[in-house]
Structure 1
Amino acid sequence: MAERVDAVLREGKAPGFHGLVVMRGGEVVLERYGAGVDHRLGDSLGHVEFDWDTLHDVRSISKSVVALLYGIALGEGLVPDPDAGLVEQFTQYPDLVADRERAHLTIEHALTMTLGLDWNEDAPYTSTANSEIAMEFAPDRYRYVLERPIVEEAGKRWIYCGGATALIGGIIARGTGRPLEEYAATALFEPLGITGFQWSKGSDGLAMAAAGVRLRPVDLAAVGQLVLDGGRGIVPAEWIEEMLRPRVTIQDGFEYGYQWYVDTGERHSVQGIGNGGQRLLVAPGEELVVAVTAGEYDQETGSSAAVLDAVLND
């Protein structure tokens, strides 16, 4: 494995590569770090020499972290079950709560990104043509998502939606009575020995649930190991099982659970995936966790794919 990874890096096949941590059987078996221009949610950090202690945006792997936090809060009785009504959790919007056309929406629809609302993240994440960026510029992120036009029946089709994760983050914050990042620190990260994380915030001061987490690659791998280990009492085991159950098809052999991707092909895995080449892959049958960070934001993510192929092609 190490020889294949080193060959990929030496031959320039992963020019945007920033970091790699591989764990097998609960132990770190390979680490590699690179260098290059990096960004924090679009703000340039200049040229960075990465090492084991360098924080990195994990972008939309943040969504998978939020799913873990929801499961912890659910186990503590602080948030409703997934089949509870979604809009009714946001009592600050009585007009939306009273809207019968939205009454059928559930928290599960948000967890599976099947809200059936008008949402498009195909535009670059530097433009308000992208619905997630428009949400960040809106006066109220939760209202912005909840009042999107209904375009189809909920629960039928997966549409990538950072707004869905924002709503889940809001439900967690309300249920726990704490900002999302503070609850994450004590409920998830500190029990894993992770103390140096960051969670970027929007202009409203709220943690950006869909994309704001910054972790060291070794800590990202630790999150994956937690999932592989069935939660270890930090996250309820029954929630890990529910979270990773395929619920909606994205394409043949590739499905979605609760904020996690599920590869149901011959080599089963579950994954968190983030813009720019951020990947967290957990392969239960192989006792394998792979965390990759890269800097190919809003680009084709060839670097992380090349590194992952080198790790997986035994």
Structure 2
Amino acid sequence: MKTILNMMNKLSFLILFIVALIGCKSKSKESTKNDQKSTSQNTISVVIDSINSEINNGDYGLIDRFMVIQNDELLADFKYKQDYETIVQKYDTTNHQYNFNNIDWHPYYKQTELHTLQSVSKSITSILFGIALDVNEDYNVSDKVMPLLTGYDTDFSDKRKQNISIEDLLTMRSGLDWNEETDHNDTTNDCFRLESSDNWITYVLSKPMDTIPGIKFVYNGGGTVLLGKIIRTITGKRIDKWAEEKLFEPLGITDYYWKETPDGEIDTEGGLYLKAEDLAKIGSLFLNKGKWNGKQIVSENWVATSTSPLLKNVKPQWKSVTGYGYQWWVPEYTDNGETNIYSANGYGGQYLMITPEHNLIIVFNGWNINGEPEKSTYRVLQDRILPALKHE
């Protein structure tokens, strides 16, 4: 009996020792994970402080807001006050919504915190299009667009125009003859002409074809204008109302402004204004694969496709090999097409940059429209933050 008791005591001790050991290892792993997280954030903080110092020094030109969010934690939120009233005095300040030097309209909307997003509006239009297709299964991206744009006096003698698909518009491959690569104030620039016209849809549809749809990437804000109109055809609602119901309200975005065009449509190519905090919510929505507070707002498949490099190296003149998805840029991707970074980019320095691997969101608002700064905020994630994370 004594032998048996000794054996039981030894067994009990062994069990307790093993349990304690497992507990220590478990605690050690959790501690290591927290240490890694802390190290990561400390590493980013050092870089953020450096960038903030350079912004204050003027190296990045006119910057209004700089935010960094990682793992749902706000690591940085800097606001910069610029004296735009004085800055724009040497420029034409005629009061209309497409004069970018008029301070009633740019960069903030009528002295509020709503900041112009410019072409970031295109990426949000894409989200709203994805939601429209999610709830209307009778339509898909392979559908031809012309039957969805009726009531316009347009010359369709060129059969190529009738073959433009929704996906061609989403990926900037409509085949329309379009010039948007020159300065925005160049009167031959199609974006300038579009914004000066009385009927935007008619202007876009009247453009001749340059090539077969689906072949050539040509940056074309007019195509995004057509997407906005098609959303109205599919849903029966103008896109601002659709956005309010299906995207903004679920995300708790209560304050926004969207420019209205002379023909009663909405400027989907560049007319949206949001607070930086609310733009960050869009980034969080995408990091969570289209979910917000457990609810699927836009399908996971749409998020993945939109932010994939469907087109490779669309801007060979840029420093990095950049891809393009459904109105989203992909500044960095692997050889097998896996996205490392995707972004929504807007004129003047509007950026929503996301890197899923590090669960990281960066928001920049700026207004560099009359000069080229020494450094570009577009390169901050690739050139400054990610290298620091990779070598921590």
1:191 is aligned to 2:250 = yes
Q: Which has the higher helix share?
A: 2
- 2:323 is paired with a residue whose SS is strand
Give the equivalent residue in structure 2 for 1:8.
Answer: 54
1:228 and 1:119 map into 2 onto residues whose CA distance is: 33
1:210 and 1:110 map into 2 onto residues whose CA distance is: 12
Distance 1:310 1:13, change over 3 A: farther
Q: 1:142 Cα deviation (Å)? A: 1.5
Distance 1:257 1:48, change over 3 A: closer
Give the equivalent residue in structure 2 for 1:32.
Answer: 78
1:162 and 1:203 map into 2 onto residues whose CA distance is: 17
Is the 1:276–1:299 contact (alpha carbons within 8 Å) kept by the matching residues of 2? no
Give the equivalent residue in structure 1 for 2:63.
Answer: 17
Q: 1:312 Cα deviation (Å)? A: 4.3
Is the 2:160–2:213 contact (alpha carbons within 8 Å) kept by the matching residues of 1? no
Give the equivalent residue in structure 2 for 1:263.
Answer: 331
Matched residue type, 2:198: P
RMSD: 2.6
- 2:103 is paired with a residue whose SS is strand
Among residues 311, 326, 347, which one is paired with 1:248 in the alignment?
Answer: 311
Structure 1 stretch displaced more, 69-78 or 285-294? 69-78
Among residues 179, 200, 210, which one is paired with 1:120 in the alignment?
Answer: 179
Structure 1 stretch displaced more, 75-84 or 180-189? 75-84
Matched residue type, 1:83: S
1:211 is aligned to 2:270 = yes
Higher normalized contact order (CA 8 Å, seq sep 6+, divided by chain length):
1
Structure 1 stretch displaced more, 38-47 or 173-182? 38-47
1:296 is aligned to 2:296 = no
Counterparts of 1:38-77 in structure 2, within 5 Å, are: 41=98, 42-45=100-103, 54-77=113-136
Matched residue type, 2:49: E
Structure 1 stretch displaced more, 297-306 or 64-73? 297-306
Is the 1:197–1:214 contact (alpha carbons within 8 Å) kept by the matching residues of 2? yes
Is the 1:247–1:257 contact (alpha carbons within 8 Å) kept by the matching residues of 2? yes
Q: 1:115 Cα deviation (Å)? A: 1.1
Any gaps of 5 or more consecutive residues in structure 2? 1-44, 89-96
1:162 and 1:305 map into 2 onto residues whose CA distance is: 20
Is the 2:199–2:262 contact (alpha carbons within 8 Å) kept by the matching residues of 1? no
Q: 1:247 Cα deviation (Å)? A: 1.6
CA deviation digits over 1:169-226, x for unaligned, max 9?
A: 0001222212211111111111111111111122223210000010111111111111
1:103 is aligned to 2:162 = yes
Is the 2:198–2:262 contact (alpha carbons within 8 Å) kept by the matching residues of 1? no
Structure 1 stretch displaced more, 281-290 or 117-126? 117-126
Structure 1 stretch displaced more, 182-191 or 70-79? 70-79
Is the 2:68–2:75 contact (alpha carbons within 8 Å) kept by the matching residues of 1? yes
CA deviation digits over 1:251-298, x for unaligned, max 9?
A: 462111000011234681001110001111010111001110001126
Q: 1:22 Cα deviation (Å)? A: 1.2
Is the 1:275–1:298 contact (alpha carbons within 8 Å) kept by the matching residues of 2? no
Q: 1:307 Cα deviation (Å)? A: 5.3
TM-score (normalised: structure 1): 0.90
Give the equivalent residue in structure 2 for 1:272.
Answer: 344
Q: Which has the higher strand share?
A: 1
Give the equivalent residue in structure 1 for 2:7.
Answer: none
Any gaps of 5 or more consecutive residues in structure 1? none
Is the 2:134–2:299 contact (alpha carbons within 8 Å) kept by the matching residues of 1? yes
Structure 1 stretch displaced more, 303-312 or 16-25? 303-312
Q: 1:79 Cα deviation (Å)? A: 7.1
Q: 1:55 Cα deviation (Å)? A: 1.2
TM-score (normalised: structure 2): 0.73
Matched residue type, 2:241: E
Q: How many residues align?
A: 312
**Larger C-alpha radius of gyration, 1 or 2?**
2
Counterparts of 1:133-282 in structure 2, within 5 Å, are: 133-232=192-291, 233-249=296-312, 250-251=314-315, 253-265=321-333, 268-282=340-354
1:210 and 1:157 map into 2 onto residues whose CA distance is: 20
What is the identity percentage for the equivalent residue pairs of Structure 1 and Structure 2?
29
- 2:218 is paired with a residue whose SS is coil
